[in-house]
Structure 1
Amino acid sequence: MAISEPDIHSVVIDGVPVFWAESHDPLRLAIMFRVGFGDEQLSWRGISHLVEHLALSGLAHQTYSYNGFVDDVRTIFHAQGSADQLVEYAQRVTNALANLPLDRITSERKVLESEQQSQPGGSWASHMSLRYGARGYGLVDYPQHGLRWVAGEQVSSWAAERFCKPNVAAWISGQPPNRLHFDLPADGKKVPQFLVESLALPTPCVTEHMANGVGVSMVGPRGPELVVAARIVDRRLKERLRWQQGVAYAPGCMYRPLSNDLAHLLLHSDASEEDADSVVETVLDVIRDLHLDGPTDAELTDERATRRAKVPSAATEMQLDLRCLSELTGRAWKPYDVWQREQDEVTRASAAHGIREAWANAIVLAPLGHKSRAASLNEYPMWSTHRIHGRSHRRRLLVPGGVPSGAMLVSSDQGVMLVNPDGRYISVGFASTAAVLRGSNETRYLIGLDGFGIGVDPREWNRIDELQRLIDAHVPVDRFVPMQAAEGEAPPRDGCEVCGAVPAREVTLKRKTVWRREETLKARFCRDCGRATGRAWQDFTLRRTLLGMMTIPAVIANSIALTQLTLLSAPQRKSGVDHWMPGRSVFLRLGFYVVFIPIAVIVLVALVVWLGVTESTG
């Protein structure tokens, strides 16, 4: 059934633009604010969601249905019911926004944390963070860190600046009731949409992930060409992967506007391990075919017929929603019939051109071990390109899950850089730090706006106090997020520094470096972690005997420490906490043989010489 253009009217109520159109009962109302998680910074992530929950917390049970949600660019409060019920809803929500119940922050935090744990990420979230890092649209892939620390002052300030009359519009699926009012603050200003700026990537590029799914993210000019192309891509993916090959259950393509000028296409498909290569190849083939030839005439005809056979009521509410969003973002509004006509005018050539423009900045996400079918593409950068020059921090202690042996940490007043043993590095500049997650054991995990992160564990590095002072002094205070102690994260003061087990004792280990510098490690260990570390240090020292770097005091000190640790009783630690296994005895390691074999040879030669001398004199 073809649908006619909704007749959208507008009226201003209490300074708020309200759009309405006649539809079917029951009435629906939506109050839309131009603020979403994309407007937040990583350390504040979730503050808009907290405002939304606080505003609705006083309604509790009602005889009409209502709810609210926050997406990337907007916060919406919506309800369905009679005219009187919608009037009451609007009044109570706007009153609450102007006078938030800050005493409920703690309670709503718990509700939001529970809600967050039940909402796993997806392909959209992964692609957004790969493309935009830890800002704007990329924040959808990050936890709501702001829930850990924002208090009444921050919440009130955020609500006053964003949830105000200059930054709101509303729609209702019927003529607005006479008693409809919006008691919102008049202060504040309309908030422009955040800048949509991609990371500097060598697109088109490919990377891998642990999930069993294939995705292709593309960004191109917003317009009818990409809208029509997305529907045809969706149809082709379903035909080939679901119906012809039978290798995927729910392939498809999603079109989503990002700004007034840009839109995003996400091609996605589930894929089993055995069919992953085939799915990757088919998805890329669909893009290539449209890239070269565009859709067929039959596909364009079918797309037009399908599009014009939508359900009228759903189309009306969709148009009202888009009209509100256009009002808030400043995008010129196109009436329904104009937008339909523009899509009707899309040709094979224009659709192909739209796909070509979007493919130029594509990111392909393949299951682990299955990117070979996209081998012609560039590799997605997994390491930084900007170096930090400063002081090097020597390694103090290896901990399970920490950075690999041989890694180096560099710091300066510009930022921090972690250098991998193979020379590749990750750097986070203080000026571009999105958040610092501060653990209960004084760990710092720095996350840059580009999404790269570096963990600084005080157990692992020397001169850690100096580094922590640098971080605290150069990163703005509102970027710090206090993290609750994870299982086994903060060992007890008398426990093992590696795993937190008791009993533990403090010992001193020594070794010589290649440059004849003596390193000393003074740390508290349980029996397992201590013997593992002590044996490694003793072996390190013994191996350097032939270089003339072994010192008797170091060997004696390590032997004493190992004896003390061996005398400890079996460690008691929390279940699931990683720890070091002692491994082979020092007497079964290379270092011992480096010392033992030369000594044995010398003793044997001396014995032979002595026996020869004795025999000759006898």
Structure 2
Amino acid sequence: MIKHTEVDGVPAILAPTSGQLHAGLVFRVGQADETLSRSGITHLLEHLTLFPLGIADYHFNGATGSVSTHFHMQGSDRDVATFITRVCASLAALPFERLAKEKEILRTEAAGRGGHVGEPMALWRHGARGYGLAGYPEWGLTALTPDDLRAWAATYFTRENAVLWIAGDEVPAGLRLDLPAGVRRPVPPVTSALPQTPAWFSGSSRATAWDAVVPRSAAAGVFTGVLERELFRALRQEDGLSYTAHAAYEPRGDGSALIVAVADALPEKADAVLGGFVDVLAKLKVGRIDPADVDAVVGKAADALGTAEADAARLPQYAFDMLVGFPLQTLEEAAADLRAVTPGAVAAVAAEALSTGLLMTPGRRSADWAGYATAPQGSESAVPGHAHRSVDVPGHRLVVGQAGVSLVRGDDVATVTFDACAAALAFPDGGRMLVGHDAVVVQVEPTLFEGAAAALPTIDAATAPVRVPMPARDPDDIPRPGDDRRADPRADADTADAGSRGLLVARLVVLWVLLVAVGGFTALLTLGTVMEQGDRAPLVTVLVFLYGLTALIIWGVVRGTRQLRRLRR
């Protein structure tokens, strides 16, 4: 049974455990509370808080999520009391002499972590705000100052905005929560960049992914388990198309839950996996739910709730529910809700989930055929203003006006208005990247548009509140006339490599044509000599040359094909 108490004005919950004591201090703040131009501030503050604690004999860590930040430790009573107490002390006196190094550590962490399939899903669904920030790099790190961090700590890391949980019988002696007074912070509003659902967009990876937002419930959790079983059965066991076919259920702070499903594939099997994935979703949408799958998922979850450590295992989620104001349940109530889930209830969740779904197709493939709407990739119109012509592509222009900036490429328009600009990345070479709240990006490159450098003061003045100074770019990364590069967080690796593949194909074709032309011309001259002089010796030379030419062409095609395959991977 979970027991409620209070420590220094902070709500605290306890549950018995037969193992080693472990505890956590959770605050109601996370990535979704930030803005894109200051993204990373919570993560940076978490790192700075933990630095003075040094190295301990037992495991401790911190974690920054979408709407919560968690400090936790496992160890002896004394170790846990010391850890939690020192976390609070560190929050009040952050080690700002460590600021530059921790920023570099976070950049290194991001570079080594790599992208997660859920990141593009977040920005396509929510845009460049709130829950969508999980899909972006922590661009705000470079501009963050000690004053920014002090203000953030004073706003969110307070007594009223925290919950302490302890897997143990009592609060360890000496544990103090010396936190400033504040208020409980509501979860941020949910934003959407999708005018209609279900929708689809093409991703860069070989994976097919899908997510949906549904009301949080026991039935929604069971549906997630049933979906995973169906995907695994269809894509791995029956057809042998995927190695990973997985679904996850994540409760959110607004009373909803996010369901994410992923299936990987080899390049040559991507179409089959996409088709099989869509078929599974369609099957569940029309209510074809196997009761045996429901029983299996419910049974497994009920077994977890029936262990002696069940309440202790629930403490982190229980603390989260307290922070976001979700109705609290006893262990018995949670188990009863779970056992009451029927195939009909799961079918109802499936229908709702499919109506809000967002599908990521692998490698430029469409899902229009499956009844999914295309997620918007640009803007409906350009802003009025002065047009700067492209220096090398007729019809392309950059438009800078009083209301915002537009990039026009034929029929494709991308517009970011100044009043809906989430971040303006400023590079020392003069390049600017404006990201709108809807995740649309406009790249301003003075090297590509006539007179664009003269428009920079206007752009910089209008975007000053969200300006993010960026490190100098490598000279090779600065776009030049003739390049076909896009700096768009929505663009994927396949798009970035498209120009390289096209250039390679063009080179192979030109090489082949030159070889054939030279070889043919040489062959004609040689055969003419044979006919005039009656000397067969040159004919042998012609045959040897033609055989060599054929071998060279075959080698070039094979090598080019291998390079193309590497680029696709």
**Structure-2 change in CA distance of 1:373 and 1:161 (3 Å):** closer
CA distance in 1, matches of 2:448, 2:312: 57
Q: Which amino acid aligns with 2:416?
A: V
Contact map agreement 1:196 1:258 (CA 8 A) in 2: no
- Determine whether 1:445 maps to 2:412: no
Quote the residue 1:45 is aligned against.
Answer: 39
TM-score normalised over the length of structure 2? 0.81
Quote the residue 2:260 is aligned against.
Answer: 266
- Determine whether 1:145 maps to 2:132: no
Q: 1:288 aligns with which of 259, 282, 292?
A: 282
Q: 2:319 aligns with which of 308, 320, 324?
A: 324
Quote the residue 2:151 is aligned against.
Answer: 157
Secondary structure class of the residue paired with 2:282? helix
**Structure-2 change in CA distance of 1:317 and 1:480 (3 Å):** farther
Quote the residue 1:169 is aligned against.
Answer: 163
Q: Which amino acid aligns with 1:483?
A: M
Q: 2:330 aligns with which of 301, 317, 335?
A: 335
CA distance in 2, matches of 1:212, 1:50: 32
**Structure-2 change in CA distance of 1:372 and 1:448 (3 Å):** closer
Quote the residue 2:247 is aligned against.
Answer: 253
Contact map agreement 2:219 2:338 (CA 8 A) in 1: yes
Quote the residue 1:459 is aligned against.
Answer: 447
CA distance in 2, matches of 1:200, 1:302: 35
CA distance in 2, matches of 1:107, 1:123: 29
CA distance in 2, matches of 1:458, 1:387: 19
Secondary structure class of the residue paired with 1:274? helix
Q: Which amino acid aligns with 2:468?
A: V
CA distance in 1, matches of 2:308, 2:351: 35
Q: 2:377 aligns with which of 372, 376, 382?
A: 382
- Determine whether 1:435 maps to 2:423: yes
Quote the residue 1:353 is aligned against.
Answer: 348
CA distance in 2, matches of 1:297, 1:210: 36
CA distance in 1, matches of 2:106, 2:367: 41
Quote the residue 1:391 is aligned against.
Answer: 386
CA distance in 1, matches of 2:248, 2:263: 11
Q: Which amino acid aligns with 1:180?
A: L
CA distance in 2, matches of 1:225, 1:246: 29
- Determine whether 1:417 maps to 2:406: yes
Quote the residue 2:512 is aligned against.
Answer: none
CA-CA distance at 1:361 after TM superposition: 1.9
Secondary structure class of the residue paired with 1:290? helix
Secondary structure class of the residue paired with 1:267? strand
- Determine whether 1:481 maps to 2:475: no
TM-score normalised over the length of structure 1? 0.75
Contact map agreement 2:389 2:395 (CA 8 A) in 1: no
**Structure-2 change in CA distance of 1:452 and 1:52 (3 Å):** same
CA-CA distance at 1:373 after TM superposition: 8.0
**Bigger CA drift: 312-321 or 125-134?**
312-321
Quote the residue 1:362 is aligned against.
Answer: 357
**Bigger CA drift: 34-43 or 191-200?**
191-200
Quote the residue 2:269 is aligned against.
Answer: 275
CA distance in 1, matches of 2:450, 2:268: 47
Contact map agreement 2:162 2:323 (CA 8 A) in 1: yes
Quote the residue 1:426 is aligned against.
Answer: 414
CA distance in 1, matches of 2:159, 2:255: 26
CA-CA distance at 1:317 after TM superposition: 3.6
Quote the residue 1:112 is aligned against.
Answer: 106
Q: Which amino acid aligns with 2:417?
A: G
CA-CA distance at 1:340 after TM superposition: 2.1
Contact map agreement 1:277 1:373 (CA 8 A) in 2: no
Quote the residue 1:407 is aligned against.
Answer: 396
- Determine whether 1:472 maps to 2:460: yes
Q: Which amino acid aligns with 1:138?
A: G
Contact map agreement 1:196 1:259 (CA 8 A) in 2: no
Contact map agreement 1:212 1:367 (CA 8 A) in 2: yes
CA-CA distance at 1:126 after TM superposition: 1.5
Secondary structure class of the residue paired with 2:24? strand
Q: 2:70 aligns with which of 71, 76, 100?
A: 76
The higher relative CO (CA closer than 8 Å, separation ≥ 6) is in: 2
- Deviations 1:144-166, CA, capped at 9 Å, x for gaps: 11211211111111111111112
Q: 2:200 aligns with which of 202, 206, 220?
A: 206
Secondary structure class of the residue paired with 2:84? helix
**Bigger CA drift: 112-121 or 377-386?**
377-386
- Determine whether 1:54 maps to 2:42: no
CA-CA distance at 1:66 after TM superposition: 0.8
Q: Which amino acid aligns with 2:474?
A: E
**Structure-2 change in CA distance of 1:385 and 1:36 (3 Å):** same
CA-CA distance at 1:294 after TM superposition: 4.1
Secondary structure class of the residue paired with 2:172? coil
Contact map agreement 2:62 2:70 (CA 8 A) in 1: yes
CA-CA distance at 1:291 after TM superposition: 1.4
Contact map agreement 1:438 1:482 (CA 8 A) in 2: yes
Secondary structure class of the residue paired with 2:303? coil
Secondary structure class of the residue paired with 1:309? helix
Contact map agreement 2:311 2:331 (CA 8 A) in 1: no
**Structure-2 change in CA distance of 1:321 and 1:466 (3 Å):** same
Quote the residue 2:22 is aligned against.
Answer: 28
CA distance in 1, matches of 2:356, 2:407: 29
Q: Which amino acid aligns with 2:102?
A: E
Contact map agreement 1:441 1:489 (CA 8 A) in 2: no
CA-CA distance at 1:375 after TM superposition: 4.4
CA distance in 1, matches of 2:360, 2:285: 19
**Structure-2 change in CA distance of 1:222 and 1:374 (3 Å):** farther
Unaligned runs of 5+ residues in structure 2 are 484-499, 508-569
- Determine whether 1:85 maps to 2:79: yes
- Deviations 1:233-274, CA, capped at 9 Å, x for gaps: 111111121211111111011111233332111121001122
Quote the residue 1:371 is aligned against.
Answer: 366
CA-CA distance at 1:464 after TM superposition: 3.0
CA-CA distance at 1:222 after TM superposition: 1.7
CA-CA distance at 1:218 after TM superposition: 1.3
Higher percent of residues as helix: 2
Secondary structure class of the residue paired with 2:415? strand
CA-CA distance at 1:285 after TM superposition: 1.6
Secondary structure class of the residue paired with 2:57? coil
**Structure-2 change in CA distance of 1:89 and 1:372 (3 Å):** closer
CA distance in 2, matches of 1:136, 1:58: 30
Q: 2:10 aligns with which of 5, 13, 16?
A: 16
**Structure-2 change in CA distance of 1:307 and 1:425 (3 Å):** same
- Determine whether 1:178 maps to 2:173: yes
Contact map agreement 2:78 2:173 (CA 8 A) in 1: no
- Deviations 1:336-382, CA, capped at 9 Å, x for gaps: 22122122222222211111111112111111244368443222211
RMSD (Å), alpha carbons:
2.3
Q: 1:301 aligns with which of 295, 301, 310?
A: 295
CA distance in 2, matches of 1:440, 1:280: 43
